[in-house]
Chain A
Amino acid sequence: MSGNRKPWRLSLPSHMKLLIAFLLIFSPLAVTHVAEASGAETTLNSKLLGQFLQKHCFRCHGAQEQNGSARFDTLDYAISNKVEALHYQDVLDVLNGGDMPPEDEPQPSNAELEVVIGELTEGLFKARKRLASNGGKVVMRRLNRREYAATIRHLFGFEPPRQRVPPDDDVVNFDTVGSRQFFTTAHFDEYYGLAQEVLREGFKWAGVREAVQIRVEQPENFWNRSFRNNLKSWKGQTGKVVRLSKMREKYLARPMVKSGVYLDEPLRHLSFGPAVDPRGSYRIRVTAGVEGEVAPFRRFIKLNIGQDVLAILHIDGTPEDPTESVVEIPRPALLGRRLGGRVSEDRTGAWLSHYLNFLERTGEIKKGGAKSQGLIWIDSFSVEGPFYPEGRSFFDALLCPAEPSSEQRSTIVWSDANARELIERFTWEAFRRRDPAPEYIDELASYFQKQRDKGKAFQAAMVDTLAVVMASPGFLYLNEEAISDSDSRMLAPREIAIRVACFLTSGPPDEQLYRAVESGAMSNRDAFHREVDRLLEGPKSRRFAAALARQWADFTRLDGISVSDKKYPAYTSGLRHSMKQEVIAFFHTLIEQNLSVSNLIKSDFATVNAQLAVHYGIPGVTTNEFKPVTLPADSPRGGYLTQGAFLVAGSNGERTSPAVRGMLLMSRFLNSPPAPPPPNVPELGSDVDGPTTNRKLVELHQTRAQCASCHRKMDTIGLALENFDLLGRHREVEMVWRDKVPVLISGSMPGGKPFNSLSEFQATMLEHDEDLARNMVESLLVYAMGRDIEFTDELHIKSIMTQLRPDGFRMKDMIHAVASSPLFLQN
């Protein structure tokens, strides 16, 4: 703090401030001293703000008068504590709301206001971040949803349904940030109840090994017969059934009803629901073909499990020569339920006829085309399984050590006599191999005995006892021991292993990682990196890529965009699923092949399935998997910027939103997130008369100073992507009412460099690849550490950047650099 500066003081209760909206007071008689100071000060541009305040505010809030008890002529334009930040926030709020200067006073020009609001907004945004600092300490946290599920999978071999796990609170950037978690009475009850269910399921499957079974469905047996029966029973009736009968007659007159079903009215979808072992994976096989001519994007069927899309299958064949597609269901997340799924055409609209009509109306298929469109025909589908993973789960092997077979169930070897040992061994593993206090185990054992004395069965009593363990802090919290050596602050090897495992696998360490801890390998640099590589290998790395990608790319925003199916019938739930999978596969490729992070701006490959290839207009892709394919040199695709998930998220569901796209670009690609929208700025509304181009709409946004201060930057770069429509399809023209207006790409970066096409824009963005790399390093750090970046991390982040720069910021190197950074290994 500067020497001659007086602290802010309040003479009225601070809560009065907003009551009169403007109550900054600076009285020497004030009593409240501001003691908190984090040592970090954010300075505002004193010249700029000073001039403005002098011109517009001093007369009423200066040395002579202090209207509303606010005085500005003695400010020092520095924010060093939360109360000061609040005071500047009040000034900003008043300017944003247009409440000051009063109407009868001379008004500042728009340009003046824009600069001042911009400076205050950015300054406060920075100051808040600094003030939130707690010295780089990782705050202990409980397992988030993802980690809880993975921990259950580690212990029991199956996962609870996601929505059953208590949700993560207030995820701002990553779900690992502990300081944003809370624990309430409801959490305790939910965790305890869920643990009981999980344990019952665990007992149910202990020692069981099922033989692989194939269940083949010939859907025509049920459906086509029931349609025939409908016709019989409705014969001679009048009213609604006449229409329904006609529909069935038409359906049954199709050529291939003897051997299959058509996904046409009256049939919407096929259901399947075999009882399954949730520890195994299953294979679903669908044999289908397309009858007649269809638009290329209609060659896809969707496989659902509950509400979740499991896969999108491309149907190449015909009813005469059908396509057989195979999909693997990796261990279904179920608790005591059947595996319920659906097979349907991937489309919108309640009925196929609605969908086709919408397609015709929006020009997705040609006029009159709805009548001539063909149909998808399903011959059969089958469910095969269970296929068990290698090795049995911890709980299964603990309860029934002998290896089971499909003929011989293995039995539980525990009884009342050795119950204490069972409790102890379970607790040790559940507590991530930390020794529980003997007293705790004693009390658990006597609780178990009490339940038995009351007449509860062994299993029921054990479920209730072990559920206590799974509702205890030793299980729910990633608790790390306080570090006694204040110099090194280095974590113990076991705790490093847990952090690494949570970072890369979302769950507890596996057997091999625990062994590495015991053998002392965690402190050997090479061995440590080998472990990181091992955890990133194979199918597990895809899970990591998914967890990172869905948060970095903010799928929650994408899911929140509601697109009208009347206006955009092509935006199916399957297409949205494919768009997300593309991002995950893209991240996976970057990690697996150790590619530069700059591929997110522009890449010469895309990770698309057949559906997206059709959507994007990439020729020659027929697979259902998302694998990297090389793009033609003149393709506008390549890079996250050109992916559907990004482009749809950058819309408001009715048209593209250059503001949102620009905001996302600034946050991720320029690592300079704009401040969140201020309250009380009036809606723009539709000031415009009649339809207009997106560019015109955006320019309107900038006529108001309160908006322009942030939007000028965001909107300009967001407009660079106008060659992609709301759904991410490439376009040269924009529809304005019924006119086609050419899309104009022209703008400049915040900093000045102009661009006049998408590729020029990408080239400019590539010059900023340091910003993107830094954003990815910071993202990985937040994700891995479970805390926000603080200004004290600067040195370590710089050293990571220096380490990665020579090779162009490769993704796998980046993960290694983060995992071995002192930021991650210390506390």
Chain B
Amino acid sequence: MSTIVTDPVSRRSLLRQGAYCLAMPFLDSIARAAPAASVPKRMIFLGGGYGFTDAYHEKGNSFFPSETGRFSSIGLSSGMKLLERHQEDLTMVSNLTNPGVGNPHGGSEGYLNCGSYREHEAAISCDQLAARTIGKDTRFTSLVLTAREPIPGQGAGHGSGYSLSADDRGRSLPGIPSPLQLYRTLFAQKGDSPEQLLERLDNRQSILDLVRIDSSTVRRTLAHEDAVKLDEYFTSIREIETSLKREEQWATRPKMEPPFEEPGAGLTGEKEIRLMLDMLVLALQTDMTRIASYRLPVCSLITSLGINLSPHTLSHYGSSPSARAASETRDRKLMELFAWFLDRLKETKDKDGRRLYDSCIVSYGSNLRAGHGLQSLPALLSGGGTERIKHGRHIILPKENTSLANYWLTLLQQAGIETPQFHYSTDAVTELLS
């Protein structure tokens, strides 16, 4: 099977293997794991870095539509043009603002949990909340994907944090940072027989037991403030143990055989994003997970487009026409990738033969609209999993700076999670519902 794609990098799409995968017998074993729920909802949150190119004083076009209405009548901006084939399956919402973020370089900071500098209020991100219910029966409760950017968070426009997701104390989750690591996470590796796996897990548990002995010794000698700091270490150990337990429960059910050869370690930019998304589609299709977040490497994407500007310089595109042109190139590329991802979801059938797209709720966005602007952030929505949201429109919410939490609440409710509130939310975004 590993010969289906010999050079995964050069293949633009894994769609073809995706089709092969469908017919493969291993699916049965995966499918057994899933409960007999009617149609499972799936949620995917994409985002990252600085937003898009706005009009401001420039005479140039804005990425953002100014009119409200159906895309079929108001048309798509040149930045969004590549989404045209999906325009009936697309919703864009204006006037949302993340109330928890004040950092003008923090496009991904507290994005899914609406809180960062108000530390005392920071809490779990909406994908992780969804994972608790929707994800509890799959091999991975959720997939948190991210990327190692060549320059640190502030410069890349992400702000602090490792990914879009946060745990129940508001701490950023580390995330899977490369196609190679995602590959090794998802697919069966050599020596992955249940016995070997259990032994490895047991070994890992022994290591954790060992470091815990030293941690306790160190802790006894520390001043109170330092002991609090060491709790981070303890917590991470506990979290690894939790995941070990889960792996143990799944140890007897083999992982999927790798559908293509192991990707190289140094992939960046567009290739990296396509491969990550391809594997994500595979993970969703085979029901390894139903929840995912992905902080896209916009920084290395820019480099892979041949743009010799740092993301921060690019975000101040007002300074020169060439920077603005480059900024628009980035916008188009991101939308091209987003459109391609939607293609993949539409082409791929789940185990019951339905389009994967029909059960998905796909969100794309960032805290930053453009430049240093945190108000009216970019919010794109697609997927057939939102029964009460009829796509195809641009909606300008009547209230400026409507909380992003209201939006997440709406999506959570659409996914069937019965929660009356999500952090700062005041109400669901009723304008979205029909």
Contact = CB atoms under 8 A, between A and B. Distances in A.
Nearest to B371: A683
A171 interface: yes
Contact of A436 (B151, B153, B214): B214
A86 B320 CA distance: 35
Contacts, number: 212
Interface stretch (A102-110, A553-561, A750-758): A553-561
A140 B230 CA distance: 8
B223 A680 contact: no
Interface string A430-446: 00000011011001100
A296 interface: no
A654 B320 contact: yes
B352 interface: no
B108 interface: no
Contacts of A444: 210
A617 interface: no
Interface residues of A, number: 76
Interface SS, A side = loop
Given A140-B230, A170-B152, A444-B210, A680 B403 contact: no
Given A137-B223, A481-B222, A559-B151, A473 B211 contact: yes
Residue in B102, B151, B370, B402 with the greatest tally of chain A CB atoms within 10 Å:
B102
A791 interface: no
A89 B424 CA distance: 18
B29 interface: no
B211 A184 contact: no
Interface string B346-365: 00000000000000000000
Interface string B382-415: 0000000000000000011111010000000000
A326 B310 CA distance: 35
Interface stretch (B7-15, B75-83, B133-141, B233-241): B233-241
Contact of B213 (A16, A188, A443): A443
B426 A19 contact: yes
A431 to B, nearest CB: 9
B104 A677 contact: yes
A202 interface: no
Interface string A394-435: 000000000000000000000000000000000000000000
A95 to B, nearest CB: 14
A683 to B, nearest CB: 4
Contacts of B103: 679
Residue in B103, B226, B375, B423 with the greatest tally of chain A CB atoms within 10 Å:
B226
A450 B206 contact: yes
B58 A686 contact: yes
Contact of B373 (A480, A682, A685): A682
A21 interface: yes
A709 to B, nearest CB: 16
A129 B153 CA distance: 22
Given A183-B236, A679-B372, A680-B374, A827 B401 contact: no
Given A137-B225, A169-B160, A561-B310, A21 B230 contact: no
B146 to A, nearest CB: 10
Nearest to A563: B308
B121 A437 contact: no
Given A443-B209, A473-B214, A556-B152, A139 B237 contact: no
A565 interface: yes
B162 interface: yes
Contact of A471 (B160, B211, B317): B211
A188 B240 contact: yes
Given A19-B426, A178-B229, A437 B222 contact: no
B424 A652 contact: no
Nearest to B148: A167
Nearest to B223: A482
Contact of B226 (A479, A653, A680): A479
B28 interface: no
Interface in B413-434: 423-424, 426
Nearest to B57: A685
A654 B317 CA distance: 12
B423 A472 contact: no
Interface in A164-214: 167, 169-171, 178, 182-189, 192
Given A16-B424, A185-B239, A683-B371, A436 B217 contact: yes
A169 B405 CA distance: 27
B13 to A, nearest CB: 29
Given A468-B210, A560-B312, A687-B57, 7 more contacts: A19-B401, A137-B223, A170-B152, A183-B233, A189-B240, A436-B214, A479-B221
Interface of B: 56-58, 97, 99-100, 102-104, 114, 118, 120-121, 151-155, 160, 162, 171-175, 177, 206-207, 209-211, 213-215, 217-218, 221-226, 229-230, 232-233, 236-237, 239-240, 243, 308-310, 312-313, 316-321, 323, 370-375, 399-403, 405, 423-424, 426
13 contacts: A13-B424, A15-B118, A15-B121, A18-B99, A86-B118, A97-B375, A183-B232, A479-B222, A653-B313, A678-B104, A679-B373, A680-B375, A683-B57
Interface of A: 13-21, 82, 86, 89, 93, 97, 134, 137, 139-141, 167, 169-171, 178, 182-189, 192, 436-437, 439-440, 443-444, 447, 450, 468, 471-474, 476-477, 479-483, 556, 559-562, 564-565, 652-654, 676-687, 827
